[in-house]
Amino acid sequence: MRINSGGRRFCCTALVMNSPASPRRTRTSAVKAGWRRLGAGLVTGAADDDPSGIATYSQVGTQFGYSMLWTTVATVPLMIGIQTICAHIARVTGMGLAANLTRILPRGVVAGLVGLLVINNVVNLAADIGAMGDALAMLTGGYARYLALLCAAVSLLLEVFIPFRRYAPILKVLTASLLAYVLTACVVGIPWREMVAHWRPERWDHRTLVALTAVFGTTVSPYLFFWQAAEEVEQERGEPGAQALLAAPEDAPEEFRRIRIDTNLGMTYSNAVAFFIMLTAAVVLHGAGLPSIDTSADAARALEPLAGRLASMLFTLGIVGTGMLAVPVLAGSAAYAVSEALGQKGGLENTVAEARTFYIILAVATALGTLLTFLPVSPLRLLFWSAVINGVIAVPLMGAIMVAACSRSLMGPFVLKGTLRLLGWVATVVMGLVALGLLL
């Protein structure tokens, strides 16, 4: 309804709508703006809970019950520290980790580190793709290996044909798949008092140290270092007018704040989900006296007779969702690392014609990972020892990252200082001690 007053018109509807509803709209807009600003940290954290990680947490929960739950808390500050530092390096310099490392380390050293990363990523890809095939076979009754091949093909096609600016929101939505494990824990029912009474380590022996290295390795994983750094570079290139902080130092306070919030949220989310996965396995599988499980799909199968069809289905759906999130991160981080080390142009925002080397590495890594799923390799060995290897090779990589972050020639006025520098070195030393304890 419109009122005419002295030639001026007022819209009553607009007046009514604009007043009481505006605070609600403001809150909604703030939530949307906050969601848009989340990116590299959230996706990286969620990708850490991939099917091989799920298998590791489930295996540890099955074997040790509640006594290893403390590891999912202890790794939170380690993850936050090293991932924030990786993001800082990329945002300050406008380059990924491998490109920065080649500027301060001998090329042979960088090649060795990147080679270890690629080998481990391929093994992780095999574990994740195989687990997705098993999970889909449970849901559909199809043949697991062909379904694994389908998952790998879909993931590769999405990476190749969808530009990063459109693909990144898909990855962000897939992070919600991790909530399946929180729901699973709710369905099985948790004896909280018993958990609190027994969540500390009960013994220290070689078996415990292997499990500890596996948990720390699958949580503080090398491929996450390279992926978060690469995503920061992609985001910067995708924003009109954005520059590396060395060229635009006035943007540093706001950018560092965004990175801190994004990374803290992503890593806390990741470890909270890991906690619930391990807790579910401790309650149901360890509680039933199951000695061990081979894969994440085995954990889902074991849940059904013990905790019901709903718990098993939620667990299975989570495997598929997290796999679709983790496979591009694993293949992509390998492609970023190799192309950067070779000085080649590459990124998911580029076309195949613009970045041939990048996409060849992406395709080869995915193909090799898929091929491994067709070989008669023990799933348990593939999954668990992949996590252990992660924990060992993370140490030299973290040391190299800290050297880069503390290099004034790379970071200029943004050289790492204070609490973050201390946290980074503490994380590196802790990972070193865990790996050393395994080898002794």
Kindly state the average pLDDT of the residues 124-133: 88
**pLDDT tier for residue 252 given thresholds of 50, 70 and 90:** very high
pTM for the whole thing? 0.85
Looking at this protein, which amino acid is placed at residue 283? Answer: V
What SS3 string covers 260-304?
A: HHHHHHHHHHHHHHHHHHHHHHHHHHHCCCCCCCCCHHHHHHHHH
Q: What domain range is 311 assigned to?
A: 41-439
CA-nearest of 427, 430, 436, 419 to 401 is: 427
Q: What stretch of H or E contains 3?
A: strand 2-5
Q: How far apart are CA 78 and CA 267, in angstroms?
A: 9
Q: How far apart are CA 171 and CA 42, in angstroms?
A: 9
Query: Has residue 325 been placed in a domain?
Result: yes
Residue 380: its pLDDT value, please? 58
Query: Has residue 10 been placed in a domain?
Result: no
Number of domains in the chain: 1
* Whether 98 contacts 340, CB under 8 Å: yes
CATH of residue 355: 1.20.1740.10
Tens-digit pLDDT profile for residues 289-338: 766 666 666 667 766 665 667 777 777 787 888 888 888 889 999 999 99
* Whether 61 contacts 286, CB under 8 Å: yes
Residue 106: its pLDDT value, please? 92
Q: How far apart are CA 261 and CA 38, in angstroms?
A: 8
Q: How far apart are CA 419 and CA 107, in angstroms?
A: 31
Tens-digit pLDDT profile for residues 220-246: 889 999 999 999 998 888 777 888 999
Residue 234: its pLDDT value, please? 87
* Whether 189 contacts 303, CB under 8 Å: no
Q: How many percent of the chain have pLDDT more than 90?
A: 38
Token pair 């924990």 is found at: 391
**How many other C-beta atoms lie within 10 A of the C-beta of residue 422?**
12
Which structure tokens are listed for 201? Answer: 């380590």
Query: Has residue 16 been placed in a domain?
Result: no
Compute the residue count for the chain.
Answer: 440
Helix orientation angle between 206-219 and 252-280, rounded to the nearest 10 degrees: 140
With H, G, I as helix, E, B as strand and everything else as coil, classify residue 196.
helix
Phi/psi region, residue 141 (left: phi>0; alpha: psi -120 to 50; beta: rest), is left
Q: How far apart are CA 335 and CA 351, in angstroms?
A: 14
Which structure tokens are listed for 147? Answer: 């379904």
Mean pLDDT (the chain) is: 83
